[in-house]
A and B are shown apart, each in its own frame.
Chain A
Amino acid sequence: MKTSNNIWFNLDWTTVLLYLLLVFLGWINIYAAVYSDDHQSIMDMGQKYGKQLIWIIAGIVLAIMVLSVDSKFYAAFAYHIYAITILLLIAVLFLGKEVNGARAWFEFGNIALQPAELGKFATNLALAKCISQFDFKIQKMRSYIILILLILLPSVLIIMQNDTGSALVFAVFVFVFYREGLNGMVLFWGFAAAALFILSLLLDQFKLLFFLLTISVAAYGVLRQNIKEPLIGFLAIIGALGLIWLINSIFSLDGTPLELLTITSMLIAILVIIYGIIRRIGEVWRILLFFIFAIGISMSVNYFYKNVMAPHQRDRIDQVLGIKIDKLGKGYNVNQSKIAIGSGGIIGKGFLKGTQTKYNFVPEQSTDFIFCTVGEEWGFIGATAVLGLFLLLLTRLINIAERQRSQFSRVYGYGVACILFFHIAINISMTIGLAPVIGIPLPFFSYGGSSLWSFTILLFIFLRLDASRTENIR
């Protein structure tokens, strides 16, 4: 094809335009967030919005540089880039500058660099390379281990820098693996485990055990396509519990409700096993396995929560789940953030008219909580529109990924979409109290060179790969 060599012609301009639009919106929102009557010029280089403009211009230069590199370079040097990033992540632990308790930054004069940001696209490249190798079969146990190691290495190093939020991002690659053929049950168990985690914190143990019993019985019914058996099973649980309760009362045994229910569930389990053996019903074992797995998770959640998690992480989760409400202390950020967004109403207060962010009621209003300015000044309509632009970008990326002939490009593209998705979803959710505050930026919006550049590189490597999609197969 005549035009196939021209990357400017093949470049996906829709994505580029979306990128430029989001970066521009981010910039004017940073201006609005830190605006004061003393410094009115948006070009004021002493202010954050002035600096952000420099970051944006530098980002565009970076994007052009990324596009100028031969597309084969990224696949060829994926492991090298990964290795260098890992070395930087190790080095920053010893040589980095400590800011807010996180040793995550290299400082070169005025410019600070955060290797964790590089970790995202480096890991993404390495994973794409690994999965796209011709002899790679994702269903094999060996493949699982390699993929998990590739993810675990940077995340552990980032956790050691005290930046748990950035490390959590790596969990999102599970969706990429799913697209590449990972067993759907893994995803299901992942979600089930997450749901159990939350339930274990919200419900007391009695309610949780009762809930799990009910779910097990219901699941059995679904598997067996039968209503009678689970109904009998449920009545048996109630009956057995009542009987044991009665025995406990008659003999004044002082058993707690939880103990009584535990005895009941063990009794029922024995009955179910006998029933399963006599009737030769295979589903019984699967349900039993699920039940024991669930009990195991919920018990370990309590241990993990109380003994492994740091107090401030516990507090953030407690705030989101509403276990503790403390609007002035631990929950101050989120409460003020909700006030700012909530006060925006349908159409918002208008550009530069927001009071909550401008007068510093919302902490971190230009970085992690930049969405507050959007919500306050542009209202529900503006916030939904920004969300819509993000969704448009994500679906565009998935569609581009699907049109790749090279598996490397496709995996990388999914990685880009999923990383952006995680940031967008968690960042916005934390500003409206749906997710715990884990301190990750909103892509293209949040103030700061490091995050803007890393998202730019992440995105434009993919656009570079896409521009050459017709050149090579595999």
Chain B
Amino acid sequence: MDVFSKRKYLVIGLFSLTALIIVVRLFYIQVIDSSYKISAATNVLRREINYPARGVIYDRNGKLMVFNQAAYDVLITPREVKAFDTLAFCSIVGVAKEELINEIIKAKNFSRYKPSPIIKQLSSQTYAVLQEQLFKYPGFYIQARTLRQYPAKIAAHVLGYVGEVDQKAIDANKYYENGDYIGRSGIERAYENELRGVKGISYKMVDVHQMIKGSFEQGRLDTAAVIGKNLISTLNADLQGYGEQLLSGKVGSIVAIEPSTGEILVLASSPTFDPGLFVGRERGRNYAKLLNDPNKPMLNRAITSSYPPGSTFKIANALIGLKDGVLQTVRYSCNGPASTPIVCTHNHETPLGLISAIRESCNSFFWQAFRSEINHYSTPTEGLEAFRNSLLEMGIGRKIGGDLYAENSGNAPSVSYYDKIYGQGGWNSMTIRSLSIGQGELLVTPLQLSNMVSLIANRGYYIAPHLVRSIQEYDGTQDTLHYDKHTIDAGRDNYEMIVEGMEQVVESGTARVSAKIDSLIICGKTGTIQNPHGEAHSAFVAFAPKINPKIAIAVYIENGVWGARYAAPIASLIIEKYLKGRIASRRQHFEDAMINSNLISTMKLEGGD
């Protein structure tokens, strides 16, 4: 009836086309493009982390060595931050304005929407003040954390420290993320998984003002925080402190082990530092200072420095010879200082047997002993191979494998090493004779030395030295850790021969003045290690008492002149303190001398030439 009525189709067509365009667009943003779903999640979800308290560490007698104290991080979400009185804020938290602005810029660069920490580890006192004022600073949040605290400023190297995770740790383990703390060295590192616990994560839904509106999916995805487990260490805190005191002013270390269990009683390295320096706001500055100190206080010399063992090695040499059956009855002659090819520094009877040789630390005896040990096999190659294997069995030249972090393996030179230097067949026992007296390419750590003494003390076995005895479970029970036992069967009598020699060292030999204690039989061995860079190093190994030993010890003092000068007094003082409880007045002057001596300043002077 109407010429234009067909135009209704064009109008309906336009409506439908528009609807189609909208549907295609909806399909694109709702179904194809997933970025809106991510944006929606970042809009509304806030991931809250509940950091559990880190486990504490006790010494063997239940004395607290590390515990936690509450501390607070200040976080900002840059998008929500409004203009605020920076000066007032700075005066509350005690940071410089420039530093604050710097941190805010860093946070902005990281993300405008996500919270990032700008001020770390505020004390509870500062937190209390800030908490009251926080409403003035929109976009600022506070995250509770715990800080490590040390009742006594000891055992910094052993305990290690905790620090923020780096990218490498984050990449290696999905558990960690930016801002988490992780054990960086020592027990903190070795027992990271036990100590840290499990952080809890909860997802909260927030509105546009970041007000929390409730948990996400009724908290189905939330996980509860699990506090860290406590550790019972093998250390004796008092003895550790005493050891560190004795080491003051010297570069060196002490390792004391309970031979029957392999439990480390003392593991001290000097120079040391206050472990509390790595905690709190000053951490960065302190860390840099320690790192740049020429005496390297952060180095744990007891397990990461390896030295030539010097004459203390004669014990290992003797044990190998006895095991091979070549030293039981032999007597070798010595010309004292006129001896060749190695001089002997001591004047004593000649010819002499093994026990006397240990007592007198006779170089002549031991290179000849070494020659017969090597020549006991048909070729020098086989001989050295056997010699080296025996060392490795004793834990020399390899990581012993307790629970220590960053243990050095030392060096027991191999056949291929000498082949490379002298050519195959170009060397024999005499070429490498300096091994016999613990010099040359042989390198051991103080830990390995004390373990070697432990083996002698036990007359035939050692348990891998370790720092943690047990882990405290949540129900209060102790989960005692087990460590490998290594047995070296060389015959009881042979061990007793060495013990006899070591007893005579203290009784009437090289350490008779410095290490002898009334009514206690100490078995020891001194070592004086030639040092081309300065004064000789001073070493002493010992165990006591002779019967049923309770402590095996190695002391190594760099530039300590000779074995009986520093190492022997220090070792004997530790033993006396541990077994007697106090230092006899007769020996008080040793204690004073050790505590007050300072070798570090003289070392620096020597650095000049």
Q: How many angstroms from the CA of A179 to the CA of B205 in the assembled complex?
A: 52
Min CB–CB distance B15 → chain A (angstroms): 5
The stretch that binds A, out of B20-28, B383-391, B443-451, is B20-28
Q: Which of A325-345 contact B (CB under 8 A)?
A: 328, 336, 338-345
Query: Which A residues are CB-close (under 8 A) to B432?
Result: none
Query: Which B residues are CB-close (under 8 A) to A421?
Result: 15, 18
Which residue of chain A is the closest to B210 with respect to CB atoms? Answer: A359
Given A342-B29, A342-B33, A383-B30, also A360-B208 (CB < 8 A): yes
Query: Which B residues are CB-close (under 8 A) to A417?
Result: 11, 15
Are B31 and A341 in contact, CB atoms less than 8 angstroms apart? no
Are B22 and A356 in contact, CB atoms less than 8 angstroms apart? no
Which residue of chain B is the closest to A391 with respect to CB atoms? Answer: B19
Which residue of chain B is the closest to A336 with respect to CB atoms? Answer: B43
Q: Among the listed B27, B29, B208, which residue makes an inter-chain contact with A359, where contact means beta carbons less than 8 Å apart? A: B208
Given A37-B214, A179-B4, A361-B44, also A342-B37 (CB < 8 A): yes
A346 at the interface (CB under 8 A from B): yes
Q: Which of A410-455 contact B (CB under 8 A)?
A: 414, 417-418, 421, 425, 428-429, 432-434
Min CB–CB distance A398 → chain B (angstroms): 6
Min CB–CB distance A383 → chain B (angstroms): 5
Query: Which B residues are CB-close (under 8 A) to A428?
Result: 22
Proximity bits, A366-404, B CB within 8 Å = 1, else 0: 000000000100011001100110110011001101100
Query: Which B residues are CB-close (under 8 A) to A399?
Result: 8
A12 at the interface (CB under 8 A from B): no
Query: Which A residues are CB-close (under 8 A) to B22?
Result: 387, 425, 428-429, 432, 434
Q: How many angstroms from the CA of A211 to the CA of B582 in the assembled complex?
A: 102
B586 at the interface (CB under 8 A from A): no
Min CB–CB distance A328 → chain B (angstroms): 8
Query: Which B residues are CB-close (under 8 A) to A178?
Result: 7, 10-11
Are A398 and B40 in contact, CB atoms less than 8 angstroms apart? no
Are B18 and A425 in contact, CB atoms less than 8 angstroms apart? yes
Query: Which A residues are CB-close (under 8 A) to B207?
Result: 359-361
Are B208 and A340 in contact, CB atoms less than 8 angstroms apart? no
Query: Which B residues are CB-close (under 8 A) to A434?
Result: 21-22, 25
Are B214 and A402 in contact, CB atoms less than 8 angstroms apart? no
Query: Which B residues are CB-close (under 8 A) to A36?
Result: 213
Which of B15, B27, B209, B214 has the most CB atoms of chain A within a 10 A radius of its CB? Answer: B15
Q: Among the listed A181, A338, A361, A425, which residue makes an inter-chain contact with B29, where contact means beta carbons less than 8 Å apart? A: A338
Query: Which A residues are CB-close (under 8 A) to B29?
Result: 338, 341-342, 432
Q: Among the listed B14, B27, B35, B43, which residue makes an inter-chain contact with A175, where contact means beta carbons less than 8 Å apart? A: B14
Q: How many angstroms from the CA of A380 to the CA of B23 in the assembled complex?
A: 8
B5 at the interface (CB under 8 A from A): yes
Query: Which A residues are CB-close (under 8 A) to B15?
Result: 391, 394-395, 398, 417, 421
Query: Which B residues are CB-close (under 8 A) to A414?
Result: 11
Min CB–CB distance A201 → chain B (angstroms): 20
Q: How many angstroms from the CA of A402 to the CA of B10 in the assembled complex?
A: 13
B111 at the interface (CB under 8 A from A): no
A364 at the interface (CB under 8 A from B): no
- Count of interface residues, chain A, beta-carbon cutoff 8 Å: 48
Given A175-B11, A179-B4, A384-B26, also A359-B36 (CB < 8 A): no
Are A343 and B213 in contact, CB atoms less than 8 angstroms apart? no
Q: Which of B520-565 contact A (CB under 8 A)?
A: none
Query: Which B residues are CB-close (under 8 A) to A361?
Result: 43-44, 207-208
Given A355-B44, A361-B43, also A341-B30 (CB < 8 A): yes
Q: Among the listed B5, B12, B40, which residue makes an inter-chain contact with A356, where contact means beta carbons less than 8 Å apart? A: B40
Q: How many angstroms from the CA of A342 to the CA of B40 in the assembled complex?
A: 8
A318 at the interface (CB under 8 A from B): no
Are B7 and A179 in contact, CB atoms less than 8 angstroms apart? yes
B142 at the interface (CB under 8 A from A): no
- Count of interface residues, chain B, beta-carbon cutoff 8 Å: 39
B596 at the interface (CB under 8 A from A): no
Min CB–CB distance B164 → chain A (angstroms): 30
Query: Which B residues are CB-close (under 8 A) to A179?
Result: 4, 7-8, 11
Q: How many angstroms from the CA of A286 to the CA of B5 in the assembled complex?
A: 30
Are B31 and A346 in contact, CB atoms less than 8 angstroms apart? yes
B91 at the interface (CB under 8 A from A): no
B39 at the interface (CB under 8 A from A): yes
B16 at the interface (CB under 8 A from A): yes
Which residue of chain A is the closest to B25 with respect to CB atoms? Answer: A432
Query: Which A residues are CB-close (under 8 A) to B213?
Result: 36-37, 359
Q: How many angstroms from the CA of A414 to the CA of B214 in the assembled complex?
A: 49
B227 at the interface (CB under 8 A from A): no
Query: Which B residues are CB-close (under 8 A) to A37?
Result: 213-214
Min CB–CB distance B16 → chain A (angstroms): 7
Q: How many angstroms from the CA of A248 to the CA of B593 in the assembled complex?
A: 98
Q: How many angstroms from the CA of A181 to the CA of B41 in the assembled complex?
A: 53
Q: How many angstroms from the CA of A344 to the CA of B26 in the assembled complex?
A: 10
Which residue of chain A is the closest to B14 with respect to CB atoms? Answer: A175
Min CB–CB distance A205 → chain B (angstroms): 29
Are B4 and A383 in contact, CB atoms less than 8 angstroms apart? no
Query: Which B residues are CB-close (under 8 A) to A342?
Result: 29-30, 33, 35-37, 39-40
Q: Among the listed A180, A339, A346, A390, which residue makes an inter-chain contact with B36, where contact means beta carbons less than 8 Å apart? A: A339
Query: Which A residues are CB-close (under 8 A) to B14?
Result: 175
Given A356-B44, A361-B44, A391-B16, also A339-B31 (CB < 8 A): no
Which residue of chain A is the closest to B213 with respect to CB atoms? Answer: A359
Which of B14, B25, B29, B207 has the most CB atoms of chain A within a 10 A radius of its CB? Answer: B29
Which of A338, A342, A394 has the most CB atoms of chain B within a 10 A radius of its CB? Answer: A342
Which residue of chain A is the closest to B21 with respect to CB atoms? Answer: A434
Are A398 and B26 in contact, CB atoms less than 8 angstroms apart? no
Q: How many angstroms from the CA of A416 to the CA of B336 in the assembled complex?
A: 124
Which residue of chain A is the closest to B9 with respect to CB atoms? Answer: A398
Min CB–CB distance A354 → chain B (angstroms): 9
Query: Which B residues are CB-close (under 8 A) to A344?
Result: 30
Query: Which A residues are CB-close (under 8 A) to B27?
Result: 380
B342 at the interface (CB under 8 A from A): no
Q: How many angstroms from the CA of A394 to the CA of B8 in the assembled complex?
A: 12
Q: How many angstroms from the CA of A181 to the CA of B3 in the assembled complex?
A: 8
Q: How many angstroms from the CA of A388 to the CA of B18 in the assembled complex?
A: 12
Q: Which of B84-124 contact A (CB under 8 A)?
A: none
Min CB–CB distance A37 → chain B (angstroms): 7
Are A398 and B36 in contact, CB atoms less than 8 angstroms apart? no
Are B30 and A395 in contact, CB atoms less than 8 angstroms apart? no
Are A341 and B214 in contact, CB atoms less than 8 angstroms apart? no
Q: How many angstroms from the CA of A328 to the CA of B40 in the assembled complex?
A: 15
B49 at the interface (CB under 8 A from A): no
Query: Which A residues are CB-close (under 8 A) to B44?
Result: 355-356, 359, 361
Are B43 and A356 in contact, CB atoms less than 8 angstroms apart? yes
B206 at the interface (CB under 8 A from A): yes
Q: How many angstroms from the CA of A180 to the CA of B41 in the assembled complex?
A: 51
Q: Which of B494-510 contact A (CB under 8 A)?
A: none
Query: Which B residues are CB-close (under 8 A) to A383?
Result: 26, 30
Nearest 7 pairs between A and B by C-beta?
A342-B36, A343-B40, A359-B207, A342-B29, A355-B44, A380-B30, A360-B208
Given contacts A342-B39, A360-B208, A394-B12, 17 further A-B contacts (CB under 8 A): A36-B213, A175-B14, A179-B8, A343-B40, A344-B30, A355-B44, A356-B44, A359-B206, A375-B30, A383-B30, A387-B26, A388-B19, A391-B15, A398-B11, A401-B8, A432-B25, A434-B21
List, sorted by A's number, 7 A–B pairs whose CB atoms are closer than 8 Å: A341-B30, A345-B37, A375-B30, A379-B30, A387-B26, A402-B5, A402-B8
